[in-house]
Amino acid sequence: MTEPLPPATFPPAFLWGAATSAYQIEGAVREDGRTPSIWDTFSHTPGRTAGGETGDVAVDHYHRYREDVALMAELGLTAYRFSVSWSRVQPTGRGPAVQVGLDFYRRLVDELLARGIKPAITLYHWDLPQELEDAGGWPERDTAHRFAEYARLVGEALGDRVDQWITLNEPWCSAFLGYGSGVHAPGRTDPAAALRAAHHLNLAHGLGAAALRSVLPARGQIALSLNSSVVRSLSQSPADLAAARRIDNLANGVFHGPVLYGAYPETLFAETASVTDWSYVLDGDLRTIRSPLDALGLNYYTPTLVSAADGKAAGPRADGHGAAEHSPWPAADDVLFHQTPGELTEMGWTVDPTGLHELIMRYSREAPGLPLYITENGAAYDDKPDADGRVHDPERVAYLHGHLAAVRRAIADGADVRGYYLWSLLDNFEWAYGYDKRFGAVYVDYSTLERTPKSSARWYGEVARAGALPAAVEPVA
């Protein structure tokens, strides 16, 4: 029988990582054959991003990746989750791969492996090639088949040296922020299209997983990263509980239902009948979507608190997903979202580690035997260098300590959590917020692109090396 771990100690093989995404850090948007993605188009559209800022340069990771990998090694990270730019590898979203585009990721992976850092590839982190959006985007079924072709190309190129693969990152954001509220690329505001996009993203996951399995070695592991919401009702009244169930269906069930169980929640169909008849779900789709997973990635930042509308206020607007005239929640205009109590990050999100523990335990119950990874968790704060150029961020240290303690508690409660990826390695282009929100453990001076590890980065590195949480949460100077 295995001896239980000391209370603050993590399993020996636990992965200590950080995460990024291509459009947020790479830059070099016109180099080596790369063509525009929907985020290039969106960010260059006036009024779409804070200050009209774009990812054209971002933090220039495309040219500085060796420096960034050296930083990871210095900090003691054992894993790095990054995404591949689809339009860098397959510029039109169709046809053969551009080898010079793949070569960048080959070099990055080789650099990581040489430093003893395990690469984890996310194939899609929201940057659809613009030509595929012009052909209809995710509301069109063909996009799922194009994704499978792209997945196979990347798997063939990198499967000999990468074991961990994630098909999609946060498909909820792609579908409902991209096609519902319009605060993310491509900026469309059609609730029916958002639900079609959700189904075709699910289909893309299933087809992409099958394409990967056809080319990866047996050791290759395939996962999906969901930003599943911890949905809580404002009260225990029947109306508030029903509101919470509806949002849980739209936030969670619409993805984990078909992926884990091969079925959408029946209540979801009834609740969205005014928007769509779901006729685009064809025979065989659900079998394809329920492609066997080797792991599930969970992204968590803050819980969601809802109630039924009281007749005086209408529409979900305080849901933490940006101000918009249009709702990302189809057929849920009579649900109200509330600010949960507690300390807030710069995003206006409540710091609540209990939600992470709750989320882990939910999926530990709903998918027993499926390993879990925390593929994103972190916070934005108003970080600034001091007079000596150092960046102290005690708020982030406290945030990380609390959330890692929640992960450790879940492991003690029987959850099979095998790794944690801090969001994010670097300050970067934060989508519609431009460069205003800093999530990085490493500070980036956007005028010089100089990197400076914050005190949270040093603290996290010490935790990674020790494989255990300290009792105190004082940052490392």
Q: Which tokens go with 474?
A: 């004082």
The CA-based diameter of the chain, rounded to the nearest angstrom, is 64
Nearest partner of 56 among 23, 87, 86, 83, judged by Cα: 23
The H or E element spanning position 24 is helix 22-25
Contact 124, 86 (CB under 8 A): yes
Task: Name residues whose C-beta falls within 8 Å of residue 188's C-beta, 6 or more positions apart in sequence.
Answer: 137, 178, 179, 182
Contact 206, 225 (CB under 8 A): no
Contact 226, 169 (CB under 8 A): no
Q: How many CA atoms lie within 13 A of 183 on its CB side?
A: 23
Contact 318, 349 (CB under 8 A): no
Compute the distance between CA of residue 303 and CA of residue 222 in angstroms, rounded to an integer.
27
Task: Name residues whose C-beta falls within 8 Å of residue 298's C-beta, 6 or more positions apart in sequence.
Answer: 225, 226, 228, 359, 360, 363, 372, 373, 374, 375
Q: Which tokens go with 463?
A: 């935790």
Nearest partner of 301 among 364, 251, 249, 230, judged by Cα: 230
- Between strands 221-226 and 118-124, the pairing is unpaired
Q: Which tokens go with 338?
A: 């509330």
> Could you tell me how far CA 9 lies from the centroid of its own chain?
26
Task: Output the DSSP codes for 343-383.
Answer: -B-TTS-B--HHHHHHHHHHHHHHSTT--EEEEEE------
Compute the distance between CA of residue 410 and CA of residue 104 in angstroms, rounded to an integer.
37
Catalytic residue numbers?
170, 376
Crossing angle of helices 394-412 and 353-366, rounded to 10°: 30
Q: Which tokens go with 34?
A: 């790369």
Residue 329 has phi, psi (to 5 degrees) of -110, 95
Compute the distance between CA of residue 474 and CA of residue 477 in angstroms, rounded to an integer.
9
Nearest partner of 393 among 459, 328, 447, judged by Cα: 459
- The residues with which 9 forms a beta bridge, in sequence order, are 468
Nearest partner of 410 among 460, 356, 366, judged by Cα: 356
